[in-house]
Amino acid sequence: MVRPAMSEEERTPGPESDPDSEHRSFANAAWSVPSYTLSGMAVYGGIGWLLDRWLGTSALFPIGILVGLALALYLVYLRYGR
């Protein structure tokens, strides 16, 4: 069975015809960047804290936070900086 062609009224507008798509893209990036940095610091800081508790040291927690921050900023650069 052949479907009839869609009229102009039936077509949904794509993102290129939406005037607010650029605004939404910026808003998504504005929420993504702090989310990446905070979650990277939390995950790797948490891993460092767990290793500190397990090994009886006190240096891995701040190192984990810094590594998580560095990896998160690298991810932000790869995603939005190019």
pLDDT tens digits for the chain (82 residues)?
666 666 655 555 555 556 667 777 777 878 889 999 999 999 999 999 999 999 999 999 999 999 999 999 999 999 988 7
Specify the 3-state DSSP secondary structure of 1.
coil
pLDDT at residue 6, as a whole number? 62
pLDDT at residue 30, as a whole number? 82
pLDDT at residue 25, as a whole number? 79
